[in-house]
Structure 1
Amino acid sequence: MTRSSGELDGLLRELAPQVLAAVVRHHGGFDECEDAVQEALLAASQQWPRNGVPDNPRAWLITVASRRRTETWRSDTARRRREEAFRPEAAPVPDTDDTLTLLVLCCHPSLTRASQVALTLRAVGGLTTAEIARAYLVPEATIAQRISRAKARIRGVAFAASPDAVGAVLQVLYLIFNEGYTAGSGEALHRVELTAEAIRLARLLRRTLPEDGEVAGLLALMLLTDARRPARTLADGSLVPLEEQDRTRWDTVMIAEGTSLITTTLARAPIGPYQLQAVIAAVHAEAGRAQDTDWAQILALYDLLASLTPGPMVTLNRAVAVAMVHGPSAGLAELDGVDLGGHHRVDAVRAHLLERAGDLDAARAAYRLAARGTSSLPERHYLESRARRL
């Protein structure tokens, strides 16, 4: 079967984590297996355009990568003693998709969150070390060190795909998405390569776990949130808050997919926090104008979310809903119980509610405080402009 260059690149990228997981599971040695898989992918990119894509491309890649891994083992004189105990034949092709196995391994609890993110993007996402470093605005050497240490820590580790493990994977994917949707630092508000990769990996995970309500909920949440991205900035890159966005610029295809997915999921799966957040995003998407938003429904959803997974960020978002339903003074009272370690979003919300309450001097001071607390230039410029307007 012949495919275009773009189709072939997409196929290889999709198969890469499955092949790596299968080879690691059979042979062990993350670094060595990753090198073997890269050689197999290179061989495929050279041979398949000439000879056609094999009937079972995944099996082909696993077989070639396993042979490369075996050759490496045999050439290592320091390990010759164990050569007999090593299974030298090509790995049998498993019937299941090993993507989840690899995701779970990359999100092992012994790793720091930063290492989990870097290793996931490298091993499962296929991003190069340089690409990850550019996305997070950190030196390439820093990312390389994180990945190297992570690989060393999980060497020889077997980690079952328990519900807790899947939960860790979802947290890492959501963290990647959020960093792409609102970059924590730098000149750009969005890092599209990260949001796109988080959504792609969430789709892969859902194919592996189609009955998991929280996996579907996270994917729906990402789709419904990312649908607003075209309206979040002006041509000069400046930030546009939700209530001021031109909603005709929202991506209706993503909204339709996310809404359909969360509606179907709620009918068959136990409710969970990602599903609830997706429903909240869907309620926002249903409103053609900001003033049409059903804030009473959103407040009820945040009440339910707070009962499932209480935390300062939920309380912060709920305070906004309280203010929209019961007035800014009620929302400000809710903020007194929020402790996010000096995070600038608390000051930004307080400034917004103070402005609505008519306390312009206090609002101006809070906007300036929030502006000083963020490393994102679009956010800082927006907050400073709000202070100047007052």
Structure 2
Amino acid sequence: MRTLTPAVIGVLVRRGADFAAAEDAMQDALVVAVRVWPDDPPRDPKGWLVTVAWHKFLDAARADTSRRRRETVVGDEPVPGPGTAVDDTLQLYFLCAHPSLSPASAVALTLRAVGGLTTRQIAQAYLVPEATMAQRISRAKRTVSGVGFDQPGDVATVLRVLYLVFNEGYSGNVDLAAEAIRLTRQLAAEIAHVEVAGLLALMLLHHARRPARSRPDGSLVPLKEQDRSLWDTRLIAEGVDVLQSALARNRLGEFQVQAAIAALHADSRSAAETDWAQIVEWYDELLRITDSPVARLNRAVAVGEADGPRAGLAALEGLDPSLPRLTAAAAYLHERDGDTVTAARLYAEAARSAPNLPEREHLARQAARLNAELRG
């Protein structure tokens, strides 16, 4: 049912339903399917869902006088049978990532319509009340309800939404990182775009390190300290293959560059063997594509590894002090430079503004460790 959801919604939208009505009708059809299918499974699940959802849509239209004109426009009721062979999933990606939506709303709507997740699952993954998420999704559906398939967002917006989903991480009972990979795989199968491949490679390479990112107690393990034998070599190999195929097309984009950096980390047998000089070069390439403050911050850390902590601190100069994780990066570089007092103070400061609990606890432990050394 989950995999069929976007295709069925797409069929309904093409037949004349607005997005919100199509999504509501699809949910009504799923309720019937859950009740009926266990005892009487259909030969053509998609065709069954299209037919029942269309009935639900027309029933709702007849019950609402303001929809009578729409009911006439969409034409006769389709006969039961196989659903259309046209796959509208790709159009749904673009519709859900429409520029008129905020990033948070676009992510929620993508998970609902394309990912097939329930409102409760999305709310639990984001650690917000179900009612809050329901309101967010309802507003998003209303926003795009008048947008046709001929007015979609662009690929860059879709990729940004998927990247946001991935970066939400692993909280709640829905693994959003795994869900983002599933959605990006689906998109990559439907569109031959180098940056879709770049994003998929980036996700796979980052996800491969997941088993080593935390200890049994949930505490964060920095990249340098991770047990690399825990990394998923299968995902790394797949990510490298996807990346190499994308790079061979010679249309470099920011996700391909980020994936290349991740591949260099994955290729290093130990932290000491990391090719930091080449990583700096890739960050220079990234800055030529997108002059992102986050990229400049990450480049400064790489410079600190390649050319020494003072070079890294010099590279931090000029960046906005409010940039997330800048203080933590400065603390790390000061510690490497031997300035324990400044490092301890900056670690404590960074902990207070950390974006999540594991990171906050990690930074607080670093500050406590250095303060203990200073007292000793």
The TM-score with structure 2 as length reference comes to 0.91
Q: Note if contact 1:177-1:222 (Cα within 8 Å) is conserved in structure 2.
A: yes
In structure 2, runs of 5+ residues without a counterpart are: 371-376
1:139-158 alignment, distance < 5 Å? 139-158=129-148
Which residue number in structure 2 is paired with residue 350 of structure 1? 330
Mapped to 1, the partners of 2:272 and 2:256 lie a distance apart of: 24
2:75 maps to 87
Q: What is the count of residue pairs matched by the alignment?
A: 368
Residue 246 of structure 2 is aligned with which of 244, 265, 283? 265
Identify if the C-alpha distance between structure 1 residues 174 and 315 changes in structure 2 by more than 3 Å, giving closer, same or farther.
same
> What whole-Å deviation, never above 9, does each CA across 1:213-242 have from its counterpart, x for those lacking one?
100110110010011111011111111000
Question: Mapping of 1:85-164 within 5 angstroms?
Answer: 85-90=73-78, 93-160=83-150
Correspondent of 1:220 among 196, 201, 204: 201
1:30 to 12, 15, 19: 19
Could you give the per-residue CA deviations for residues 92-125 of structure 1, whole angstroms, max 9, x where no partner exists? 9543321121111111111111111111112212
Asked if 1:319 is matched to 2:300, the reply is: yes
Residue 239 of structure 1 contacts residue 382 of structure 1 at CA under 8 Å; is this kept in 2? yes
Matched, 1:376 2:356: yes
Query: For 2:134 and 2:64, how far apart are their aligned partners in 1?
Result: 25
- Residue deviations 1:286-344, cap 9 Å, x none? 111111111111111111111011110000111111111111111111111222x6244
CA contact (8 A) 1:348 1:366 kept: yes
Structure 1 stretch 58-67 or stretch 98-107: which is displaced more? Answer: 58-67
For residues 307 and 279 of structure 2, the distance between their equivalents in structure 1, rounded to whole angstroms, comes to 13
Aligned amino acid, residue 58 of structure 2? T
Are residues 253 and 223 of structure 1, via their aligned partners in 2, closer, same or farther at CA, if it must alter by over 3 Å?
same
| RMSD after superposition | 2.2
Partner Cα distance (2:294, 2:324) in 1: 12
Shift of residue 89 of structure 1?
A: 2.0
* Secondary structure in structure 2 of the residue aligned to 1:180: coil
**Contact conserved, 2:2 with 2:117, CA < 8 A, in 1?**
no
2:184–2:196 CA contact under 8 A, matched in 1 = yes
Residues 113 and 255 (structure 1 numbering): CA distance in 2 closer, same or farther, change over 3 Å?
same
CA contact (8 A) 1:179 1:191 kept: no
Gaps of 5+ in 1: 1-11, 182-187
Residue type of the partner of 2:51? T
| 2:25 partner amino acid | A
Q: Deviations over 1:115-155 (max 9, x none)?
A: 11111112212222222222222222221111111111112
| 1:158 Cα offset (Å) | 1.9
> How high is the sequence identity, in percent, across the aligned residues?
54
Q: Which runs of 4+ in 1 moved over 6 A?
A: none
